[in-house]
Amino acid sequence: LLRLLDTRSEEEQRRSVVAGPVQYVVVAATVPGQVPNAPQIKIKRRFGEAVWVKTTRRHGPPATLNHRFVPCTGETRPRVLLQVMVGQFQEHEQPRTLVTCNAVEGVEEAARALTEAGLPCAVFHDRLAGPERQENLEQFRTGEVPTLVCTPQLGRGIDLPDITHVVQYQFPTNAVEHLHRIGRTARAGKVGWASSLYTRYEQRLVDMIQEALRAGKPLDNLFDRDADGTMKEVWNPWAAIAPVPDVDVLYGKEHLYFRDPSEPDPSGGEEQP
């Protein structure tokens, strides 16, 4: 839908999406409203008549999801992953685990650590050919392999039933992605586990997420934070405009306008205080 909003004119969108005796329902796990290119802002601008329905636990994990945040470094991350994976057998006899990474290199590193430790897994990322990707996904879906290591490409939008454990091998770059990834487990009232490995770089955002979880608050207040916990840089269209001497200041700041230099100067050419 957002690609449609970005690439087609408003009139085209209304003709193709809203016209006719058809009702449309747009469903999303997260609808950020305070970040650059926010979906909520785009939808409200294009479809102002839309009715919004929000659940009481919106922008938060399900109550049946158990969280663990595990510190590591770049060097210790593979070893910590193995400790987490072995520990899961104490909670589940036959765990089905989704290991999420930020990039293909992370997938390869995690899969190599698991394979060398004798833990079978399949991988899923966009450098694989389509048929191989689909075959690996099907092996995990049918239970032929108990663990799937993937990039964010599989972290949202695809329903993989009965996942008992999500391991974030690399911590997401923001709270929105974190919420989507851990949402692959504890679905439909089932109990699930999410183990998130993080480094000192992500410590601040992790602390904020943990504080929100302890307080039972949604995570939407963190949607504008980067992985290090700092505020995202929001594009300000006025910031790129340098001060222009031809701005008529006689009308006050709330009525600033840009005067064409060819127009008569209402100040008589005198310098304004």
Tell me what pLDDT residue 215 has.
83
> What is the per-residue burial (b if ≥16 Cβ within 10 Å, else e) of 25-42?
eeeeebbbeebeebbeee
Residue type at position 56:
T
Distance between CA atoms of 81 and 197, rounded to whole angstroms?
8
Higher pLDDT among residues 60 and 216, named by residue: 216
Burial of 231 (0-12, 13-18, 19+ CB in 10 A): exposed
Single out the residue of 178, 203, 235 nearest to residue 60, CA to CA. Answer: 178
Contact 60, 186 (CB under 8 A): no
Q: Which of 107-111, 186-190, 201-205 has the highest mean pLDDT?
A: 107-111
Mean pLDDT on 169-188: 89
Mean pLDDT on 237-266: 41
pLDDT digits (tens, 9 = 90+) for 20-41: 667 778 777 666 555 555 667 7
Q: How confident is the model at residue 128 (pLDDT cuts 50, 70, 90)?
A: very high
Tell me what pLDDT residue 32 has.
58
Single out the residue of 178, 208, 160, 193 nearest to residue 64, CA to CA. Answer: 193
Tell me what pLDDT residue 18 has.
53
Mean pLDDT on 201-222: 85
Check whether 206 has a pLDDT greater than 80.
yes
Judged by DSSP in three states, 105 sits in helix
Tell me what pLDDT residue 30 has.
62
Where in the sequence of the chain do the CATH 3.40.50.300 domains occur? 65-222
Contacts of 272 by beta carbon, 8 Å cutoff, 6+ apart: 249, 250
Distance between CA atoms of 135 and 190, rounded to whole angstroms?
27
The CATH number that domain 65-222 falls under is 3.40.50.300
Distance between CA atoms of 208 and 225, rounded to whole angstroms?
10
Residue 11 structure tokens: 């009139």
